[in-house]
Structure 1
Amino acid sequence: MTFDQAGQPDLSVVIPVYNGERILAATMARLTGYLTSGTSEIIIVENGSTDKTLEVARQHAVDTPNVTFHVLQSQKGMGNALRTGIEASSGRRVLLTADDLPFGTDDLDEDKKLDPKPHIVIGSKAHKDSNIQRSPLRGLTTFGFKTLRQIILASRVGDSQGTLIVDGDWLRSMVERFDDPGFLFSTQVVYAAEKQGYSIVEVPVTLAPDDDPGETTIRTADVVKMFKGLLAMRRRRREFAAAPSTGTHAS
Protein backbone atom coordinates (compact mmCIF):
# COMPACT_ATOMS: atom_id res chain seq x y z
CA MET A 1 0.00 0.00 0.00
CA THR A 2 1.44 3.36 -1.01
CA PHE A 3 0.23 6.94 -1.15
CA ASP A 4 0.57 8.93 -4.37
CA GLN A 5 1.13 12.67 -4.35
CA ALA A 6 -2.60 13.42 -4.50
CA GLY A 7 -3.12 11.18 -1.48
CA GLN A 8 -0.32 12.67 0.61
CA PRO A 9 -0.45 11.25 4.16
CA ASP A 10 -1.57 13.56 6.92
CA LEU A 11 1.23 12.31 9.17
CA SER A 12 4.56 10.52 8.87
CA VAL A 13 5.87 8.90 12.06
CA VAL A 14 9.64 8.37 12.02
CA ILE A 15 10.96 5.90 14.60
CA PRO A 16 14.70 5.20 14.92
CA VAL A 17 15.28 1.79 16.49
CA TYR A 18 18.45 0.32 17.95
CA ASN A 19 18.23 -3.09 19.66
CA GLY A 20 14.52 -2.64 20.24
CA GLU A 21 13.23 -6.13 19.54
CA ARG A 22 11.50 -6.40 22.94
CA ILE A 23 9.42 -3.25 22.61
CA LEU A 24 9.02 -2.54 18.91
CA ALA A 25 6.04 -4.79 18.19
CA ALA A 26 4.02 -3.19 21.01
CA THR A 27 4.93 0.28 19.76
CA MET A 28 3.84 -0.52 16.22
CA ALA A 29 0.55 -2.00 17.44
CA ARG A 30 -0.15 0.99 19.69
CA LEU A 31 0.39 3.47 16.88
CA THR A 32 -1.74 1.45 14.45
CA GLY A 33 -4.53 1.37 17.02
CA TYR A 34 -4.26 5.12 17.57
CA LEU A 35 -4.03 6.26 13.94
CA THR A 36 -7.50 5.17 12.85
CA SER A 37 -8.56 8.30 11.01
CA GLY A 38 -7.00 10.11 8.09
CA THR A 39 -3.90 8.64 6.46
CA SER A 40 -0.54 8.05 8.08
CA GLU A 41 2.74 6.31 7.39
CA ILE A 42 5.01 4.77 9.99
CA ILE A 43 8.68 4.65 9.03
CA ILE A 44 10.81 2.29 11.11
CA VAL A 45 14.54 2.92 10.72
CA GLU A 46 16.78 0.19 12.16
CA ASN A 47 20.29 1.52 12.73
CA GLY A 48 22.98 -0.99 13.51
CA SER A 49 21.12 -3.32 15.87
CA THR A 50 22.73 -6.57 17.02
CA ASP A 51 19.45 -8.25 17.97
CA LYS A 52 16.36 -9.19 15.92
CA THR A 53 14.99 -5.65 15.61
CA LEU A 54 14.89 -5.72 11.80
CA GLU A 55 13.14 -9.09 11.75
CA VAL A 56 10.53 -7.90 14.27
CA ALA A 57 9.94 -4.70 12.31
CA ARG A 58 9.35 -6.55 9.04
CA GLN A 59 7.14 -9.15 10.68
CA HIS A 60 4.81 -6.59 12.26
CA ALA A 61 4.76 -4.02 9.44
CA VAL A 62 1.19 -4.84 8.41
CA ASP A 63 -0.64 -2.04 6.58
CA THR A 64 -4.17 -1.01 7.55
CA PRO A 65 -6.69 1.15 5.67
CA ASN A 66 -5.28 4.18 7.53
CA VAL A 67 -1.61 3.33 8.01
CA THR A 68 1.18 2.17 5.72
CA PHE A 69 4.53 0.91 7.01
CA HIS A 70 8.05 1.34 5.67
CA VAL A 71 11.01 -0.52 7.19
CA LEU A 72 14.41 1.00 6.41
CA GLN A 73 17.99 0.81 7.65
CA SER A 74 20.61 3.46 8.30
CA GLN A 75 24.06 3.82 9.74
CA LYS A 76 24.30 3.64 13.51
CA GLY A 77 23.27 6.81 15.32
CA MET A 78 19.92 8.35 16.15
CA GLY A 79 20.54 11.36 13.92
CA ASN A 80 21.43 9.14 10.98
CA ALA A 81 18.23 7.15 11.47
CA LEU A 82 16.06 10.26 11.76
CA ARG A 83 17.58 11.73 8.59
CA THR A 84 16.93 8.52 6.66
CA GLY A 85 13.33 8.46 7.85
CA ILE A 86 12.72 12.11 7.03
CA GLU A 87 14.11 11.70 3.53
CA ALA A 88 11.72 8.80 2.95
CA SER A 89 8.70 10.57 4.44
CA SER A 90 5.89 12.25 2.51
CA GLY A 91 3.46 13.39 5.21
CA ARG A 92 2.14 16.91 5.63
CA ARG A 93 3.51 16.73 9.14
CA VAL A 94 6.25 14.52 10.54
CA LEU A 95 6.48 13.11 14.07
CA LEU A 96 9.99 12.30 15.28
CA THR A 97 9.67 9.97 18.24
CA ALA A 98 11.40 7.02 19.94
CA ASP A 99 10.92 3.28 19.72
CA ASP A 100 9.35 3.06 23.19
CA LEU A 101 6.92 6.00 22.74
CA PRO A 102 8.20 7.57 25.98
CA PHE A 103 5.19 9.91 26.24
CA GLY A 104 2.62 7.49 24.86
CA THR A 105 0.41 9.52 22.55
CA ASP A 106 0.33 12.63 24.74
CA ASP A 107 2.17 14.67 22.11
CA LEU A 108 -0.33 13.74 19.39
CA ASP A 109 -3.28 14.31 21.74
CA GLU A 110 -2.04 17.79 22.61
CA ASP A 111 -1.30 18.54 18.97
CA LYS A 112 -4.93 17.85 18.06
CA LYS A 113 -5.99 20.73 20.31
CA LEU A 114 -3.90 23.31 18.46
CA ASP A 115 -5.50 25.35 15.70
CA PRO A 116 -3.84 26.71 13.68
CA LYS A 117 -0.99 24.23 13.77
CA PRO A 118 2.40 25.62 14.83
CA HIS A 119 5.41 24.93 12.67
CA ILE A 120 6.84 22.67 15.38
CA VAL A 121 5.11 21.05 18.35
CA ILE A 122 7.44 19.68 21.03
CA GLY A 123 6.46 17.01 23.51
CA SER A 124 8.35 18.86 26.19
CA LYS A 125 9.73 17.57 29.46
CA ALA A 126 10.31 21.21 30.39
CA HIS A 127 6.63 22.19 30.21
CA LYS A 128 5.29 23.22 33.61
CA ASP A 129 2.41 20.73 33.36
CA SER A 130 4.54 17.76 32.30
CA ASN A 131 4.74 14.80 34.67
CA ILE A 132 8.32 13.61 34.50
CA GLN A 133 10.09 11.55 37.15
CA ARG A 134 13.84 11.93 36.84
CA SER A 135 16.83 10.90 38.87
CA PRO A 136 18.70 13.89 40.34
CA LEU A 137 21.62 13.31 37.97
CA ARG A 138 19.42 13.15 34.88
CA GLY A 139 17.59 16.30 35.99
CA LEU A 140 20.90 18.08 36.45
CA THR A 141 22.07 16.96 33.01
CA THR A 142 18.87 18.22 31.39
CA PHE A 143 19.18 21.58 33.17
CA GLY A 144 22.81 21.86 32.14
CA PHE A 145 22.05 21.18 28.49
CA LYS A 146 19.22 23.73 28.52
CA THR A 147 21.54 26.32 30.07
CA LEU A 148 24.22 25.68 27.45
CA ARG A 149 21.67 26.09 24.66
CA GLN A 150 20.52 29.38 26.15
CA ILE A 151 24.07 30.70 26.47
CA ILE A 152 25.55 29.40 23.23
CA LEU A 153 22.53 29.46 20.89
CA ALA A 154 20.33 32.05 22.63
CA SER A 155 17.58 29.44 22.42
CA ARG A 156 14.30 30.13 24.17
CA VAL A 157 12.99 26.58 23.84
CA GLY A 158 12.80 24.65 27.09
CA ASP A 159 13.34 21.15 25.69
CA SER A 160 14.85 20.52 22.27
CA GLN A 161 15.18 16.79 23.00
CA GLY A 162 11.50 15.96 23.25
CA THR A 163 9.39 14.43 20.52
CA LEU A 164 8.88 16.77 17.56
CA ILE A 165 5.90 17.20 15.23
CA VAL A 166 7.18 19.29 12.32
CA ASP A 167 5.88 20.78 9.07
CA GLY A 168 6.80 18.05 6.58
CA ASP A 169 7.65 20.13 3.52
CA TRP A 170 9.97 22.40 5.48
CA LEU A 171 11.64 19.51 7.29
CA ARG A 172 12.36 17.63 4.07
CA SER A 173 13.66 20.78 2.37
CA MET A 174 16.05 21.40 5.28
CA VAL A 175 17.14 17.85 6.06
CA GLU A 176 20.55 18.09 4.35
CA ARG A 177 21.52 20.82 6.83
CA PHE A 178 20.72 18.57 9.78
CA ASP A 179 23.88 16.49 9.81
CA ASP A 180 24.48 15.51 13.43
CA PRO A 181 24.65 11.69 13.56
CA GLY A 182 23.52 11.52 17.17
CA PHE A 183 21.32 13.16 19.77
CA LEU A 184 21.92 16.78 18.66
CA PHE A 185 19.94 16.19 15.46
CA SER A 186 16.63 17.33 16.97
CA THR A 187 18.36 20.38 18.48
CA GLN A 188 19.49 21.34 14.99
CA VAL A 189 15.88 21.11 13.76
CA VAL A 190 14.59 23.28 16.59
CA TYR A 191 17.44 25.79 16.26
CA ALA A 192 16.81 26.24 12.52
CA ALA A 193 13.12 26.83 13.14
CA GLU A 194 13.95 29.40 15.81
CA LYS A 195 16.42 31.21 13.57
CA GLN A 196 13.89 31.33 10.72
CA GLY A 197 11.20 32.79 12.97
CA TYR A 198 8.74 29.90 12.92
CA SER A 199 6.19 29.23 15.63
CA ILE A 200 7.24 26.58 18.17
CA VAL A 201 4.84 25.33 20.85
CA GLU A 202 5.87 23.07 23.73
CA VAL A 203 3.10 20.82 25.05
CA PRO A 204 2.87 18.86 28.32
CA VAL A 205 3.59 15.14 28.41
CA THR A 206 3.74 12.34 30.95
CA LEU A 207 6.65 9.97 30.96
CA ALA A 208 5.30 6.47 30.31
CA PRO A 209 5.36 4.24 33.44
CA ASP A 210 7.56 1.66 31.70
CA ASP A 211 10.17 4.24 30.79
CA ASP A 212 12.67 3.76 33.59
CA PRO A 213 14.43 7.05 34.42
CA GLY A 214 17.34 5.18 35.97
CA GLU A 215 20.70 6.68 36.68
CA THR A 216 22.72 8.21 33.89
CA THR A 217 26.49 8.03 33.75
CA ILE A 218 27.79 11.26 32.24
CA ARG A 219 31.39 11.16 31.08
CA THR A 220 33.57 14.21 30.67
CA ALA A 221 33.91 13.28 27.00
CA ASP A 222 30.13 13.49 26.60
CA VAL A 223 30.01 17.00 28.05
CA VAL A 224 32.85 18.14 25.81
CA LYS A 225 31.14 16.63 22.76
CA MET A 226 27.89 18.40 23.65
CA PHE A 227 29.69 21.72 24.12
CA LYS A 228 31.58 21.41 20.83
CA GLY A 229 28.40 20.41 19.01
CA LEU A 230 26.54 23.50 20.20
CA LEU A 231 29.47 25.75 19.29
CA ALA A 232 29.54 24.23 15.81
CA MET A 233 25.81 24.93 15.51
CA ARG A 234 26.32 28.57 16.45
CA ARG A 235 29.06 28.95 13.85
CA ARG A 236 26.54 27.77 11.26
CA ARG A 237 23.78 30.10 12.47
CA ARG A 238 23.52 31.93 9.12
CA GLU A 239 23.14 28.62 7.35
CA PHE A 240 20.38 27.51 9.71
CA ALA A 241 18.71 30.93 9.47
CA ALA A 242 18.56 30.86 5.67
CA ALA A 243 15.18 29.76 4.34
CA PRO A 244 15.22 26.68 2.12
CA SER A 245 14.95 27.24 -1.63
CA THR A 246 11.59 25.47 -1.60
CA GLY A 247 9.02 24.92 1.10
CA THR A 248 6.92 26.96 3.46
CA HIS A 249 7.66 30.45 4.79
CA ALA A 250 7.41 31.83 8.30
CA SER A 251 4.32 33.88 8.93
Structure 2
Amino acid sequence: MIVTLFAMTLAFQQTPQEQPRLSDRDGRPAPSNDQLRDMDARMMPARSTPEALRTIQRFGACIANASTAKATATLAGDFRTPTYRRAIDQLVDANRLCPESRGWYRMRASRLLLAGAIAERLVERDGRPVNVELAKAAAKPAASTYSPTDSAAMCVVRSVPDDVAKLFASEVASDGEKAAADAVQPVMARCLNNPQVQISIDGLRAMLATAAFRSIHATAAVASRN
Protein backbone atom coordinates (compact mmCIF):
# COMPACT_ATOMS: atom_id res chain seq x y z
CA MET A 1 0.00 0.00 0.00
CA ILE A 2 1.35 3.43 -0.92
CA VAL A 3 1.61 5.95 1.90
CA THR A 4 0.86 9.38 0.44
CA LEU A 5 2.10 12.47 2.29
CA PHE A 6 0.16 15.65 1.61
CA ALA A 7 2.58 18.35 2.73
CA MET A 8 0.13 21.19 3.28
CA THR A 9 1.24 22.21 6.79
CA LEU A 10 4.42 22.20 8.83
CA ALA A 11 3.05 19.60 11.21
CA PHE A 12 4.99 16.72 9.68
CA GLN A 13 8.32 18.40 10.46
CA GLN A 14 8.68 17.71 14.15
CA THR A 15 11.40 15.22 15.09
CA PRO A 16 15.12 16.02 14.64
CA GLN A 17 17.11 13.45 12.69
CA GLU A 18 20.41 13.59 10.89
CA GLN A 19 20.53 13.39 7.12
CA PRO A 20 20.09 9.90 5.66
CA ARG A 21 22.24 8.87 2.70
CA LEU A 22 21.39 6.80 -0.33
CA SER A 23 23.88 4.17 0.72
CA ASP A 24 22.52 4.26 4.30
CA ARG A 25 26.14 4.28 5.50
CA ASP A 26 25.25 5.94 8.78
CA GLY A 27 23.17 2.95 9.83
CA ARG A 28 20.29 5.04 11.18
CA PRO A 29 16.84 3.43 10.93
CA ALA A 30 14.50 4.95 8.37
CA PRO A 31 10.97 5.99 9.40
CA SER A 32 8.64 3.00 9.56
CA ASN A 33 5.31 2.82 7.77
CA ASP A 34 3.58 3.45 11.10
CA GLN A 35 5.64 6.58 11.68
CA LEU A 36 4.89 7.83 8.20
CA ARG A 37 1.19 7.18 8.68
CA ASP A 38 1.36 9.14 11.92
CA MET A 39 2.95 12.03 10.06
CA ASP A 40 0.27 11.74 7.40
CA ALA A 41 -2.48 11.85 10.04
CA ARG A 42 -1.18 15.20 11.30
CA MET A 43 -1.53 16.82 7.88
CA MET A 44 -4.49 18.29 6.05
CA PRO A 45 -5.20 16.19 2.93
CA ALA A 46 -6.53 19.16 0.99
CA ARG A 47 -5.15 19.91 -2.46
CA SER A 48 -4.69 23.42 -3.82
CA THR A 49 -5.78 24.43 -7.30
CA PRO A 50 -3.10 25.12 -9.92
CA GLU A 51 -3.86 28.84 -9.82
CA ALA A 52 -3.61 28.89 -6.02
CA LEU A 53 -0.23 27.19 -6.18
CA ARG A 54 0.99 29.70 -8.77
CA THR A 55 -0.25 32.55 -6.59
CA ILE A 56 1.72 31.20 -3.63
CA GLN A 57 4.81 30.89 -5.83
CA ARG A 58 4.52 34.49 -7.03
CA PHE A 59 3.87 35.79 -3.53
CA GLY A 60 6.90 33.93 -2.20
CA ALA A 61 9.07 35.43 -4.93
CA CYS A 62 7.79 38.91 -4.09
CA ILE A 63 8.62 38.43 -0.41
CA ALA A 64 12.11 37.15 -1.25
CA ASN A 65 12.77 40.17 -3.45
CA ALA A 66 11.33 42.78 -1.07
CA SER A 67 12.51 41.37 2.27
CA THR A 68 15.64 39.46 1.30
CA ALA A 69 17.58 39.81 4.55
CA LYS A 70 14.62 38.93 6.78
CA ALA A 71 13.62 36.02 4.55
CA THR A 72 17.17 34.67 4.50
CA ALA A 73 17.49 34.82 8.28
CA THR A 74 14.07 33.21 8.76
CA LEU A 75 14.53 30.27 6.40
CA ALA A 76 17.96 29.53 7.83
CA GLY A 77 16.36 28.80 11.21
CA ASP A 78 14.56 25.87 12.81
CA PHE A 79 11.08 25.65 11.30
CA ARG A 80 9.72 23.78 14.35
CA THR A 81 9.90 26.82 16.60
CA PRO A 82 7.28 29.47 17.39
CA THR A 83 9.92 32.05 16.48
CA TYR A 84 10.08 30.70 12.93
CA ARG A 85 6.31 30.66 12.55
CA ARG A 86 6.03 34.22 13.80
CA ALA A 87 8.79 35.32 11.43
CA ILE A 88 6.95 33.82 8.44
CA ASP A 89 3.75 35.57 9.49
CA GLN A 90 5.69 38.82 9.88
CA LEU A 91 7.05 38.44 6.35
CA VAL A 92 3.49 38.05 5.10
CA ASP A 93 2.30 41.12 7.00
CA ALA A 94 5.26 43.20 5.84
CA ASN A 95 4.56 42.42 2.20
CA ARG A 96 0.87 43.18 1.94
CA LEU A 97 1.63 45.39 -1.06
CA CYS A 98 2.63 42.36 -3.11
CA PRO A 99 -0.14 41.82 -5.68
CA GLU A 100 -0.56 38.19 -4.59
CA SER A 101 -0.95 38.95 -0.87
CA ARG A 102 -4.74 39.05 -1.11
CA GLY A 103 -4.71 35.60 -2.62
CA TRP A 104 -2.65 34.32 0.31
CA TYR A 105 -5.13 35.55 2.91
CA ARG A 106 -8.06 34.23 0.91
CA MET A 107 -6.52 30.76 0.53
CA ARG A 108 -5.10 30.45 4.06
CA ALA A 109 -2.32 28.41 2.51
CA SER A 110 0.37 26.61 4.48
CA ARG A 111 3.58 28.18 5.71
CA LEU A 112 5.49 25.27 4.17
CA LEU A 113 4.37 26.06 0.63
CA LEU A 114 5.08 29.76 1.10
CA ALA A 115 8.48 29.03 2.64
CA GLY A 116 9.27 26.82 -0.33
CA ALA A 117 8.35 29.58 -2.76
CA ILE A 118 10.50 32.10 -0.87
CA ALA A 119 13.39 29.62 -0.74
CA GLU A 120 13.28 28.97 -4.47
CA ARG A 121 13.54 32.65 -5.24
CA LEU A 122 16.38 33.12 -2.78
CA VAL A 123 18.47 30.38 -4.38
CA GLU A 124 17.75 31.63 -7.91
CA ARG A 125 17.91 35.41 -7.56
CA ASP A 126 21.70 35.77 -7.90
CA GLY A 127 21.58 34.13 -11.34
CA ARG A 128 24.07 31.37 -10.61
CA PRO A 129 23.07 27.88 -11.84
CA VAL A 130 21.17 26.16 -9.04
CA ASN A 131 22.56 22.73 -9.86
CA VAL A 132 26.13 24.04 -9.64
CA GLU A 133 25.47 25.73 -6.30
CA LEU A 134 23.85 22.59 -4.92
CA ALA A 135 26.75 20.44 -6.10
CA LYS A 136 29.26 22.80 -4.44
CA ALA A 137 27.27 22.69 -1.19
CA ALA A 138 27.10 18.88 -1.34
CA ALA A 139 30.89 18.74 -1.21
CA LYS A 140 30.78 20.37 2.23
CA PRO A 141 29.27 19.12 5.52
CA ALA A 142 25.48 18.97 5.42
CA ALA A 143 23.35 21.71 6.92
CA SER A 144 21.22 20.98 9.98
CA THR A 145 17.90 19.18 9.44
CA TYR A 146 14.90 19.05 11.73
CA SER A 147 12.72 16.05 10.85
CA PRO A 148 12.87 12.71 9.00
CA THR A 149 11.33 14.18 5.85
CA ASP A 150 13.54 17.26 6.06
CA SER A 151 16.58 15.00 6.38
CA ALA A 152 15.43 13.07 3.33
CA ALA A 153 14.94 16.31 1.39
CA MET A 154 18.49 17.35 2.29
CA CYS A 155 19.67 13.93 1.11
CA VAL A 156 17.93 14.49 -2.24
CA VAL A 157 19.31 17.98 -2.91
CA ARG A 158 22.81 16.75 -2.12
CA SER A 159 22.45 13.58 -4.21
CA VAL A 160 20.76 14.73 -7.46
CA PRO A 161 21.33 18.49 -7.83
CA ASP A 162 20.59 18.42 -11.58
CA ASP A 163 17.17 16.84 -11.09
CA VAL A 164 16.32 19.21 -8.26
CA ALA A 165 17.31 22.22 -10.37
CA LYS A 166 15.05 20.98 -13.19
CA LEU A 167 12.14 20.79 -10.75
CA PHE A 168 12.72 24.37 -9.61
CA ALA A 169 13.01 25.54 -13.23
CA SER A 170 9.62 24.07 -14.12
CA GLU A 171 6.40 26.06 -13.97
CA VAL A 172 4.29 25.31 -10.94
CA ALA A 173 1.33 22.98 -11.60
CA SER A 174 2.54 22.16 -15.12
CA ASP A 175 3.24 18.93 -16.98
CA GLY A 176 6.92 19.84 -16.83
CA GLU A 177 6.77 20.07 -13.06
CA LYS A 178 5.12 16.65 -12.84
CA ALA A 179 7.79 15.10 -15.06
CA ALA A 180 10.56 16.67 -12.98
CA ALA A 181 8.91 15.58 -9.72
CA ASP A 182 8.47 12.04 -11.03
CA ALA A 183 12.23 11.86 -11.57
CA VAL A 184 12.90 12.98 -7.99
CA GLN A 185 10.25 10.92 -6.16
CA PRO A 186 12.23 7.63 -6.29
CA VAL A 187 15.27 9.36 -4.84
CA MET A 188 13.17 10.78 -2.03
CA ALA A 189 11.81 7.30 -1.31
CA ARG A 190 15.35 5.90 -1.24
CA CYS A 191 16.53 8.65 1.08
CA LEU A 192 13.67 7.68 3.40
CA ASN A 193 14.50 4.02 2.79
CA ASN A 194 10.81 3.42 2.14
CA PRO A 195 9.78 2.71 -1.48
CA GLN A 196 6.09 2.98 -0.59
CA VAL A 197 6.25 6.70 0.12
CA GLN A 198 4.83 9.12 -2.42
CA ILE A 199 4.74 12.84 -1.63
CA SER A 200 2.43 15.37 -3.25
CA ILE A 201 4.23 17.42 -5.89
CA ASP A 202 3.63 20.76 -4.17
CA GLY A 203 4.86 19.39 -0.85
CA LEU A 204 7.89 17.74 -2.44
CA ARG A 205 8.87 20.93 -4.23
CA ALA A 206 8.53 23.01 -1.06
CA MET A 207 10.52 20.57 1.09
CA LEU A 208 13.31 20.38 -1.47
CA ALA A 209 13.37 24.16 -1.88
CA THR A 210 13.78 24.86 1.83
CA ALA A 211 16.43 22.14 2.11
CA ALA A 212 18.24 23.47 -0.97
CA PHE A 213 18.26 26.98 0.47
CA ARG A 214 19.69 25.83 3.80
CA SER A 215 22.29 23.69 2.07
CA ILE A 216 23.53 26.56 -0.09
CA HIS A 217 23.13 29.16 2.63
CA ALA A 218 25.10 27.11 5.16
CA THR A 219 28.01 26.82 2.75
CA ALA A 220 27.89 30.55 1.93
CA ALA A 221 27.74 31.48 5.62
CA VAL A 222 30.85 29.42 6.40
CA ALA A 223 32.69 30.94 3.44
CA SER A 224 31.83 34.47 4.56
CA ARG A 225 33.27 33.83 8.03
CA ASN A 226 36.56 32.55 6.65
- Band of TM-score, shorter chain: under 0.3
**TM-score normalised to the size of structure 1?**
0.25
Structure with the bigger RCO (C-alpha within 8 Å, sep 6+) is: 2
- Relative to its length, the structure with more helix (as a share) is 2
Q: Over alpha carbons, which structure has the higher Rg?
A: 1
**TM-score normalised to the size of structure 2?**
0.27
- Relative to its length, the structure with more strand (as a share) is 1
